[in-house]
Amino acid sequence: MDKNSRIAAKLNLKPAQVKTVIDLLNDGATIPFIARYRKEKTGGLDEEMLRKIETENMYLTVLEDRKETVLKTIEEQGKLTDELKKKILETGKLQELEDLYLPYKPKRKTRGTVAKSKGLEPLANFIINNPKFAGDFENILEKYVNKEKGVETTADALQGAKDIIAETINDNAEVRKEVREFLSHNSKLTSHKVAKPTAKQGKKDVYEIYHEFEIDILNIKPYQTLAINRGEREGFLKVGLKYDKEFILAKIKKIFFPYKTSVFDEILTEVVQDSFTRLIFPSIEREVRNNLTAIAEEHAIEIFSSNLRQLLLQPPITGKIIMGIDPGFVSGSKVAIIDETGKYITGTTIYPHPPQNRTGESKKILKELIDKYNVDLIAIGNGTASRETELLISGLINEHKLKCHYLIVNEAGASVYSASTLAKEEFPDLEASQRGNISIARRVLDPLAELVKIDPKSIGVGLYQHDINQKLLKKKLDDVVVSCVNYVGVDLNTASVSLLTYVSGLNKRIAKKIVEYRESHKKFKNREELKNVAGLGEKLFEQAAGFLKIPESDNPLDNTFIHPESYEATQKLLEMCNLSTKAINEKGEIVELFVRKNGAEKISMELGIGEPTLLDIVENLKKPGRDPREEMPKPVLRSDVLKLEDLEEGMKLKGTVRNIVDFGAFVDIGIKHDALLHISEMADKFIKHPLEILKVGDVIEVSVKNIDKEKERVALSMKNFK
């Protein structure tokens, strides 16, 4: 089975689809481009499936390269049989390939290799191949005593033979596969408190739940795996596998020594025990636990990615003068004001909280700024002193009956941005401490445009993100950012270098060239002008043009996702409807009715385009310039503050989902700390994971289930809402 067929079988696709996608990727096409503009070729595959094909193709490419190396190495040893070659060529897993290669892999000095150097391999083979030997075994052993080679006695000879057999068993692919399968499906993961923790000074033991822990390996939750790994790494936990050792020893013996009885049965039983305990189990245990970790990491990355996507796609609040506040105690609260376009107007620092307690002065400064610049909205970072700042702003609004509102903004990563090279380039005259508040304000104006400036790992919507494979996490999160940017589209005349970098086909160098061209020519007049940018050739234009919008263009199609390659077909379609390109803002519905009446298949044939492309053109003609984020729920704007003391069990509230984890969701209901909505309280039916019904940014109705005033914790419920 060739590579395309393997991928197709695994993903339930047609080999031709897989081949098309791989050919497009090899030709330099991006996944967002293929998903949106090559539906006819791929059969309408979405981004998720395209990325799966990409991942499988990379894995199989690595596998094929490794097979070549393995075959060459074994052949050079003169040990490549037709049967072994067939097994190697047919295997579809790297692990199985490494098992087949293990007996031929160059080894460091081991007990087995030392015994072979002493000439004891024939003795080992004799023990294996003569189960019915009836002679004097002591005489056989005497033949292998060789003091010059270090074999002083018959006991030395026998021990050397045992060492060789033990390693031979360990190198057996079938044995390793059986042990791996058994431990992966029939063992328990256990963890115990370390008697004398080796944790670094200052680390607290927060792993009480895992001090005496045991769970079937098939039932362990991803977050439990990651927590146990961390506890072990920090020196608080001792982790292992619990299993039926006698069963697996008998299984190994049966595989490697298929005969029922042997005169060497006692020796073989001892060898199997040694091989398993000393060689097989330690390596397979690592593999099994590594596999558990890989599964947990993949799950954690998927949750992080899903949360990040929803955060990036939060709807922008446009047309507002916004005040951003980065709260603080000793160093004060940093204040910034931006206009409707995100341009920085002014900023200052106030000291309303301890230790300065200049509350009156701070209120006066804020009131003057709000009045002077007609502030519509105040964005408060959710970090240190957030609650105190919220009380301050709420009191100010109510005291002066101001028309503005406030909202709490996730400030994760703002400090990372403020100290970055990018922030220095944007605001060279401001100190780092005065840049984070601008970022907080801009996250309200356009979350996507601002958050792309920050390393996705720093945005803070995951769980155990520092405990997982950082390379895989970065790749996945970067894919999410790319997907979101191209899903929304970019205004070519206002987008920053950071935003343009994520556009299909572009990179940082080309993004900078685009901005330089824009600044020297004031703005782009149309998409075609992109071709004048140095380094942006036909191929990059093809990949990027459809995602770059120009609202001010003379051609309204430049403000849609309709690709320039389809402009001619679009104009013909409009002519069929007796419309001009200028009329699309008002007449998109007419085009849809025309296509519906005459049939999409017929019209697409007349236009010389595929049916999916036609339907996309119609959709874009209906809503040119549409921002898909408009359909997302708007953030909750507040003017009054809610205190923990105000809450009562059973009280119904509205809240915003801030983060989602395996066991529930954290919801902002307007109090100091986000409240927990446990998975068991999300619905009147069983749900496997919170993402089935919730996503970051959702505005939901909840009731207060429980209040722990001492720990300042609130439990919520979504049950019994009509």
pLDDT tens digits along 234-262: 999 999 999 999 999 999 999 999 887 89
What percentage of residues in the chain have a pLDDT greater than 90?
78
In the predicted model, is pLDDT for residue 263 greater than 90?
A: yes
pLDDT digits (tens, 9 = 90+) for 655-687: 889 889 888 999 988 887 889 999 999 998 899
The predicted structure's pLDDT at residue 200: 64
Query: Which amino acid type is present at position 548?
Result: L
Is the predicted pLDDT of residue 228 greater than 60, yes or no?
yes
CA dist list (Å): 19 to 26, 35, 143, 516: 10, 15, 62, 39
CATH superfamily of 3-104: RuvA domain 2-like (1.10.10.650)
pLDDT at position 171: 96
Q: Which residue has the tokens 């989602």?
A: 660
Distances (CA, A) of 293 to 223, 469, 478, 532: 10, 10, 22, 49
Q: Is the pLDDT at 587 greater than 60, yes or no?
A: yes
Q: Are 576 and 621 in contact (CB under 8 A)?
A: no
Is 73's pLDDT higher than 60? yes
Rounded mean pLDDT of 474-481?
Answer: 92
Average pLDDT score over residue span 378-389? 90
Contact 457, 474 (CB under 8 A): yes
Q: How far apart are CA 656 and CA 661, in angstroms?
A: 15
| 488-630 fold | DNA polymerase; domain 1 (1.10.150)
pLDDT bin (cut points 50, 70, 90) of residue 8 is very high
Question: Please, are residues 718 and 701 in contact by the beta-carbon 8 Å criterion?
Answer: yes
Task: Note the pLDDT of residue 463.
Answer: 64
Band (170; pLDDT cuts 50, 70, 90): very high
Name the residue ranges covered by the structural domains of the chain: 3-104, 118-300, 322-445, 488-630, 644-717
Higher per-residue pLDDT: 640 or 150: 150
Residue 368 burial (10 A CB sphere; 0-12, 13-18, 19+):
exposed
What is the C-alpha to C-alpha distance for residues 437 and 258, in angstroms, rounded to an integer?
73
> Mean of the per-residue pLDDT values for the chain?
92
pLDDT above 60: residue 614: yes
- Give me the mean pLDDT over the 51-67 stretch: 96
One-letter amino acid of 11: L
Distance between CA 462 and CA 495 in Å, rounded? 27
CA 660/CA 215 separation, integer angstroms: 24
Q: Which residues contact 420 (CB under 8 A, 6 or more apart)?
A: 453
How far is the C-alpha of 676 from the C-alpha of 297, rounded, in Å?
A: 23
Alpha-carbon distances of 711 from 59, 66, 93, rounded to whole Å: 48, 55, 50
Q: What's the pLDDT score for residue 462?
A: 63
Does the pLDDT of residue 183 top 60, yes or no?
yes
pLDDT in tens, 287-326: 999 999 999 999 999 988 998 998 899 999 999 999 999 9
CATH number of 322-445: 3.30.420.140
Q: What is the pLDDT at residue 625?
A: 84
> Residue 352: pLDDT above 90?
yes
Say how many C-beta atoms besides its own lie within 10 A of residue 224's C-beta: 19
Rounded distance between C-alpha atoms, residue 619 and residue 613, angstroms = 10
Spell out the CATH class of 644-717. Answer: mainly beta
Residues whose CB falls within 8 Å of the CB of residue 476, separated by 6 or more in sequence, listed in order: 301, 302, 304, 305
- Return the pLDDT at 281: 98
Stretch 560-588: mean pLDDT, rounded? Answer: 89
Least confident of 88-92, 456-460, 639-643: 639-643
pLDDT at 146 (0 to 100): 94
Least confident interval from 121-130, 396-405, 407-416: 407-416
% of the chain with per-residue pLDDT over 70: 98
424-432 long-range Cβ contacts below 8 angstroms, 24+ apart: 427/344, 430/347
Banded model confidence at residue 635, pLDDT cuts 50, 70, 90: confident
Length of the chain (residues): 722
CATH code of the domain occupying 118-300: 1.10.3500.10
> Starting from the edge strand earliest in sequence, which strands make up the sheet with 377-381, in order?
344-350, 333-338, 322-326, 377-381, 405-409
For residue 722, is pLDDT > 60?
no
pLDDT of residue 655: 86
